[in-house]
Amino acid sequence: MKIEKFLFKALLLTCLTWGTVETVFYFDPYKKHDLEYSYNAVIIDKYKRLKDTPSPKIVLIAGSNFAYGINSKLIADSLQKPVVNMAIHYDYGTKFMLNQISSELHKGDTVIMGFEYIIECKGNKREQLLMARYFPKAKEWMKFDNFFEEIQVNGQLRINTFKTVLERLYKNTEVNYQILDTTSVFFRGAINEYGDLISHYNNPPMKRIPRAILSDKVSLKNAINDMNMFYEVMKTKKVNVYFVYPTYSESNYVLDKKIIDKFQQECDKYAQFPILGKPTDFVFADSLYHDMAYHLTQKGGEIRTQKIIYLLSRKSY
């Protein structure tokens, strides 16, 4: 009888606790603020441009190396086509990001993929679900391995939201980020009309550019396979698809050259899609980077964009 009472109390406590977590998740007092300022919500603006831009158009897809390091206006003016920069963060994974753009691509469009050397196929499900919190359509781009993974990831998101709400209530401070400030980078209003990240233009760059975390034990084969499948589907829609290597700072390239060479060999061996240039085409002086090996300054982004335009113009585009 004592065991039954204990189990009943434990179950009741669990239900009350989880009920509180669930209530906070759905009635999060900061959700309206975050919808306006969270970087995860930037997909709302990027997807609207993707959907509203008529074909033929040029669509850029990658992680933050494309978000930071592209001047879409230069591409649009040079190639006389509208440009949509859909790049946000590498952690979403190739499968999710390619699903993100597929339904809005039509005959005559051109896709330029520029995925990072640390890209994964499946991506971070919690990050994907956080995007879906602000943009429900993002759930269509997700795929869980099984029911238990879906339960686990949804549970983690709710618990993290609960903790964050408590912390924010305790601190009672909110920051309204602005393009003109000299400290903020990642927030919803951080992009221009094309989808390029421009919030860092006013911010001083780091004196020493940190490395990306590359590993010679990691393979890009799964990510390349995603790109191959995407390329085959796009061929049937008469959409042009190209890949360019991500940018990488000069000092860090020297340190990571062996690993990058391995990734290039995998691309040469397994990629069925056309590749524009080679990794060294996008290696620039550290002075052209903002805060890590992938993130270019405004000047660096313009130089890198001119190289992409040149390589693309050499193809039967």
Is the per-residue pLDDT at 272 higher than 90?
yes
Q: Give me the pLDDT at residue 14, please.
A: 54
The per-residue pLDDT of the chain, averaged, comes to 91
> Is 4 domain-assigned?
no
Check if the beta carbon of residue 292 is closer than 8 Å to that of residue 300. no
Dig out the tokens for 48 from the structure.
């609207």
223 vs 147 pLDDT, higher one: 223
CB proximity list for 273: less than 8 A, separation 6 or greater: 113, 227, 228, 231, 241, 242, 243
Q: Give me the pLDDT at residue 277, please.
A: 95
211 vs 19 pLDDT, higher one: 211
> Is 21 domain-assigned?
no
For residue 21, name the pLDDT band (cuts at 50, 70, 90): low
> For 54, what's the count of Cα atoms within 13 Å in the CB-facing half-sphere?
1
Q: Give me the pLDDT at residue 24, please.
A: 67
Is the per-residue pLDDT at 9 higher than 60?
no
Total tally of structural domains belonging to the chain? 1
> Is 12 domain-assigned?
no
For residue 60, name the pLDDT band (cuts at 50, 70, 90): very high
d(CA 18, CA 16): 6
> Is 209 domain-assigned?
yes
Question: For the chain, what percent of residues have pLDDT higher than 90?
Answer: 72
* Global pTM value: 0.91
> Is 139 domain-assigned?
yes
CATH number at residue 277: 3.40.50.1110
Is the per-residue pLDDT at 6 higher than 80?
no
Q: What is the mean pLDDT of residues 237-255?
A: 97
Judged by DSSP in three states, 314 sits in coil
Is the per-residue pLDDT at 144 higher than 60?
yes
Q: Give me the pLDDT at residue 150, please.
A: 86
Dig out the tokens for 154 from the structure.
């949804």
Is the per-residue pLDDT at 317 higher than 60?
no
Q: What is the DSSP string of 151-165?
A: HHHHHHHHHHHHHHH
Cis peptide leading into 56, omega within 30 of 0? yes
Name residue 110's beta-bridge partners. 58, 240
For residue 27, name the pLDDT band (cuts at 50, 70, 90): confident
> Is 2 domain-assigned?
no
> Is 17 domain-assigned?
no
- Domain of residue 104, residue span: 28-313
For residue 166, name the pLDDT band (cuts at 50, 70, 90): confident
104, 114, 174, 240 from 244: Cα distances, Å? 21, 5, 39, 13
Most confident option among 17-21, 99-103, 217-221: 99-103
> Is 15 domain-assigned?
no
Q: What is the mean pLDDT of residues 206-211?
A: 91
Name residue 85's beta-bridge partners. 60
Is the per-residue pLDDT at 82 higher than 70?
yes
Name residue 158's beta-bridge partners. none
Q: What is the mean pLDDT of residues 11-39?
A: 73
Dig out the tokens for 313 from the structure.
């113009």
Q: What is the largest CA-CA distance in the chain?
A: 81
Q: What is the mean pLDDT of residues 67-89?
A: 97
Q: Give me the pLDDT at residue 240, please.
A: 97
Is the per-residue pLDDT at 19 higher than 80?
no
Mean pLDDT lowest among 28-37, 133-142, 231-240: 28-37
